[in-house]
A and B are shown apart, each in its own frame.
Chain A
Amino acid sequence: MVRKPSDYQSDVWIDWCPGCGDFGIVAALYRALAELDLQPEKTVIVSGIGCSGKTPHFVKVNGVHTLHGRAIPFATGIKLANPELTVIINGGDGDLLGIGAGHFVALGRRNIDITIILHNNTVYGLTKGQASPTLKRGLRPKALPKPNIQDAVNPIGLALASGYTFVARGYSMMTDHLKELLKKAIQHKGSALVDVLQPCVTYDNIHTVEYYKKRVYKLEEIGWNPIVEKIDEREEKLLRAWTKSLEHDDKIPIGVFYEDPHTPSFEDRIRDRLPSYLERPPARQIIDKEGRTIIDNEIFEKIFSTHIVETE
């Protein structure tokens, strides 16, 4: 059966503000899921808190709406316990780069096969427009009583520094382009970040549709090759991608910045230690035999022999 984007729409009314950039993200997501024909039962969307946190309720795949900043570790547990699941995270800039920044770094270090869709709108929307970690110093979106005095974090740069093996940026109003990025990210084997620029129509009067329209350009159009073709060019590609990520004022590049297919995923690293891991991950193991533990007295003494002394 071939699924259509509408097959992934849930029955829940979407309560984002009219014109919100989130609509573009979820529309691109429906289409990416459909084009990849992902089985809803084997797909899980994990989110944090805030407007983006509601995303799982609007998508007809498994949804886990978690705590502020913690979507990544929840998703980590799900994916590692059952690696056959496709796990996607939808989180905001405050969620993933503020309160949850430690987890954001940790995911890169592990390179678990999880895709992050970062809803990047420079403000905390649901709490009425406070500055997020991606808002530049000196700016003052309309809800702020005073201009922001904290510097912005560079999501692409942070992802590259943390070890993400697929790093891209999209724009919520260019859904065709975004959909392609999401497909690539989901198909990539390893930790993938798609930083999605997204206007907050209610609280951010600076980063508007007009603002982005003037600045955004596609990396493909300048002949950018993000792929680490051979392992020995990893450093060079990483450095180029990082330099490119600094370009963020007059011109804003979107597209795939960096893609490294060589670094082993965390699942592969686990398999090196536990050879049966992918065939029998935690979620596929049987732990009891008719209500009894599979470890009987004899097996017990064999497994834990170093703790047992035979008395003389």
Chain B
Amino acid sequence: MKELTVVIGGPQGAGLETSAHILTYSLARSRYGVLSDREYFSNIKGRHSYIHLTISSEKIPTSLTYPAQLVAGLDQETIFTHFKSLGEGGAIVYDLYLEDKTLDTIPSMEEDLKKRLHLEFREHGIDGSIKSLIKYISDNRKVRPIPINYSEVINEVSRKMALPASQAARYVSSIVIGAISGLLNIKKESIEYSLTLRFKDRPELIEHNKIIIDLVYDKVVAEHGSLLKLEESRLKDRKLMIVSGNDIVAIAKIVGGLRYQSFYPITPAADESFTIESYERLEVDGKEIGSVLVIQTEDEIAAITSTIGAALTGVRAATSTSGPGFSLMVEGLGWAGMNEVPIVITYYQRGGPSTGLPTRGSQSDLLFTLYASHGEFPRIVLASGDHVEAFYDAIEAFNLAERYQTPVIHLLDKFLANSIVTLPPPDLSAIGIDRGQLAYETSKDYKRFDVSNPISLRVVLGANTIMWYTGDEHNELGHIDEDPENREKMYRKRMEKLKIADEEIPMEKRLAYYGPEDADALLVGWGFTKRVAIDASRILSEKGVRAAYLHIKMFSPFPSKKIEEILSRFDKSKIIAIDHSYLSQISKAILVNTGVKIVKEIVKYTGRPVYLNELVEGVLRILEGEDRVVLTYGP
């Protein structure tokens, strides 16, 4: 097979993430491209989580889709939750020991899903057990059952390695890795390489995992053959990076010169700070080339305000958060705007409002980031569509912040944060560091807010002069000043920076257009919808609908003229916004900035990403006349 969709599920805390890690590293070692999404509940142990992977021998996969060719479950809940995602002729790996278990015996499953399944099972004469469900899908959908008795495997391994059964049972997730690897024909050397990387300091873990994986691998191949054998990879990369969205942003921030990061724990942002902290000492061949101070603060208010404090001393400083955290940061954001402090806020959107869907994705905070905080001040809001964009944008965020002396919000989402991709390492030779009007020395009559230019000389706190800052309206020295003429001058000075930014920032950093100039239909989106929309427009073109995709990356300053110009080339009934929000917030942002009203929209707010299969269908429905399509696919 050239490309394959796999779902691996199990209870949270049972080693699923580690399994996915080992599998991804093994696949990368054999030069396969992988993209995977992790879906999970706000829970430490016991609730259902799963990894949805696309594996390709031809390219780095760009979007997630259904149906799956393989579903592998650590537990019975996975089988009940995902059997529907399997395509005709797919395979399902499950625990034979649990085949008599019925739906009603699973306490972790949500009642809503149980009810829906009961109705469906009744209709198809399924008695509620795994056994009867497997029989049904194998009879009706030609699904190939791959039953494995997990307890037997554990007992066998426990005997072989002289391990207590309870300890051997911890390796249950390796059974699934063994089965998948056998079915896909992943090289054993690659798995061993991956285990060695993952558990380098703990040889016993490498050994135990290897024994289980080998045992199951051989058993599955002997009984079923390499049913879903992947073709030899055609990728040529000699090195592949394996990164989540959190990882790539963490790495980019370090490359971009981040030296102070503060955070308060929140999903799905906190992993970024952990990754940065793991690299706090930047050492190369025993020599330290820098260090990053990562501080966990008492709340998000302290996170943003201490970031501002650090930035005043000339440091590239940032904080990282999600919706509820940003809600608390809003007053600090305004202070940074008023005092022209360059800070970066990395913002991973999740499902709101309130706690909402804390571990699921959304794009419903776009308008919030554009208008958050009272009063008016310039801000730069840029959004990334994939891991590669996120890398370059995370660096550019600092350049823009310092160049225009204003807060920058780098808008991302949970989809990106938790999806892992294999990528060639980035080329850093072209990356510039622009520190704008930063200075470490000045003359005695220094004025921090010199109005002779909208962008003043920014001397660091601690240089050879003194300066004042205040959230009140201020004069050039930074002292409180409520004089109307001063107010007008100082207000305009701040706001004009946005105009300058609008004139200076090149269009390729603000939007991208994919597809034929004279396409028949135009999809418009931003953030994580980018890749799936590009793939959808390609598939639509194959189906005879020439589609293009307009990707918006910068929402403030908004590239109004260019967008207006692109939209004007299309019939209104052929422009379709795609957004992970109820309101289709991207349409609102476009309307406010250009006056163009997009009347067609495809939205999804279930917290799960837009899948390629449903998006193609959705676009076709719109082109047949519907105005709004609400997508809901995915468990």
Contact = CB atoms under 8 A, between A and B. Distances in A.
A4 interface: no
A310 B307 CA distance: 37
Given A80-B260, A84-B462, A291-B432, A67 B332 contact: yes
Interface in A27-61: 40-42, 44, 46, 49, 54, 56-57, 60-61
A64 B260 contact: no
Given A63-B469, A67-B305, A105 B462 contact: no
A73 interface: yes
Nearest to A288: B433
Contact of B30 (A75, A273, A311): A311
Interface in B118-151: none
B297 to A, nearest CB: 7
A82 B462 contact: yes
Q: Which residue among A56, A297, A306, A309 has the maximum number of chain B CB atoms within 10 Å of its CB?
A: A309
Interface stretch (A119-127, A167-175, A180-188, A279-287): A279-287
Contacts of B306: 73-74, 76-77, 80
Interface residues of B, number: 91
Contacts of B408: none
B445 interface: no
A79 B305 CA distance: 13
B308 to A, nearest CB: 6
Contacts of A66: 305, 335, 469, 471
Contact of A304 (B31, B251, B331): B251
Chain B contact residues: over half helix, strand or loop, or mixed? mixed
Contacts, number: 255
A274 B279 CA distance: 11
Interface stretch (B106-114, B282-290, B410-418): B282-290
Contacts of B608: none
Interface in B370-406: 395
Nearest to A84: B462
Contact of A307 (B247, B302, B460): B247
B28 interface: yes
B425 interface: yes
Contacts of A243: none
A103 B29 contact: no
Given A80-B295, A106-B297, A312 B189 contact: yes
Interface string B7-41: 00000000000000000010011110000000000
Contact of B197 (A276, A291, A306): A306
B242 A309 contact: yes
A168 B435 CA distance: 43
B301 A312 contact: no
Interface residues of A, number: 69
B219 interface: no
B233 to A, nearest CB: 8
A81 B460 CA distance: 11
A191 to B, nearest CB: 14
Contact of A77 (B241, B260, B395): B260
B98 interface: no
Contact of B289 (A61, A72, A299, A304): A299
A71 to B, nearest CB: 9
B317 interface: yes
A312 B25 CA distance: 12
A62 B461 contact: yes
B312 interface: yes
A311 B428 contact: no
Contact of B238 (A54, A105, A311): A311
B470 A65 contact: yes
Interface string B573-595: 00000000000000000000000
A49 to B, nearest CB: 8
Contacts of B163: none
B61 interface: no
A270 interface: yes
A287 B429 contact: no
B472 A65 contact: yes
Contact of B429 (A64, A77, A283, A296): A296
A295 B254 CA distance: 9
Contacts of A56: 468, 470
Nearest to A296: B428
Given A60-B466, A106-B302, A291-B433, A280 B238 contact: no
A84 B460 CA distance: 13
A46 to B, nearest CB: 8
A231 interface: no
A301 interface: yes
Nearest to A46: B309
Q: Give the interface centre of B311, B432, B433, B472 by most chain A CB atoms within 10 Å.
A: B433
Contacts of B230: none
A297 B426 CA distance: 8
A308 interface: yes
Nearest to A280: B291
A293 B315 contact: no
B243 to A, nearest CB: 6
Nearest to A57: B479
A102 B303 CA distance: 13
A276 to B, nearest CB: 6
Contacts of A310: 29, 238-239
A41 B332 CA distance: 25
Interface in A66-116: 66-67, 69-70, 72-82, 84-85, 102-103, 105-106
B293 interface: yes
A75 B25 CA distance: 43
Contacts of A23: none
Interface string B234-248: 010111111100010
Given A78-B309, A106-B298, A300-B255, A307 B242 contact: yes
B259 interface: yes
B632 interface: no
Interface in B190-232: 190, 193, 197
Contacts of B437: none
B309 A67 contact: no
21 contacts: A65-B480, A70-B302, A77-B262, A77-B317, A78-B310, A84-B462, A85-B461, A103-B301, A106-B302, A276-B288, A282-B259, A283-B314, A283-B460, A285-B290, A285-B291, A287-B316, A293-B256, A293-B395, A295-B255, A297-B429, A302-B285
Given A76-B309, A311-B30, 12 more contacts: A49-B471, A65-B471, A70-B332, A73-B301, A78-B312, A282-B259, A283-B313, A292-B431, A300-B425, A300-B428, A303-B254, A311-B31
Interface of A: 12, 40-42, 44, 46, 49, 54, 56-57, 60-67, 69-70, 72-82, 84-85, 102-103, 105-106, 270, 273-274, 276-277, 280-283, 285, 287-288, 291-297, 299-304, 306-312
> Across chains A and B, which 8 residue pairs bring their CB atoms closest together, nearest first?
A77-B309, A287-B257, A77-B306, A73-B302, A288-B433, A81-B310, A65-B470, A282-B259
